[in-house]
Amino acid sequence: MQPNNFTTEFFGIGIQNGKTPENLGVLWRTAQNLGANFIFTIGNRYANQACDTQNAIKSLPYFHYETFEDFYKHLPKGARIVGVEITKDSESLEDFKHPKRCVYLLGAEDNGLTKQAIEKSHFLVKFSSIQSLNVAVAGSIVLYDRSRSKPRV
Condensed to tens digits (0 to 9), the pLDDT of residues 120-145 reads 999 999 998 887 788 999 999 999 99
Question: Is residue 2 one of the residues assigned to a domain?
Answer: no
Domain that holds residue 51: 16-147
Question: Is residue 9 one of the residues assigned to a domain?
Answer: no
Q: Number of structural domains, the chain? A: 1
pTM, two decimal places: 0.86
Alpha helices in the chain (DSSP H): 21-33, 56-59, 68-73, 115-120, 135-147
C-alpha to C-alpha distance for 127 and 148, rounded to whole angstroms: 15
Question: Is residue 153 one of the residues assigned to a domain?
Answer: no
Condensed to tens digits (0 to 9), the pLDDT of residues 19-36 reads 777 778 888 889 999 999
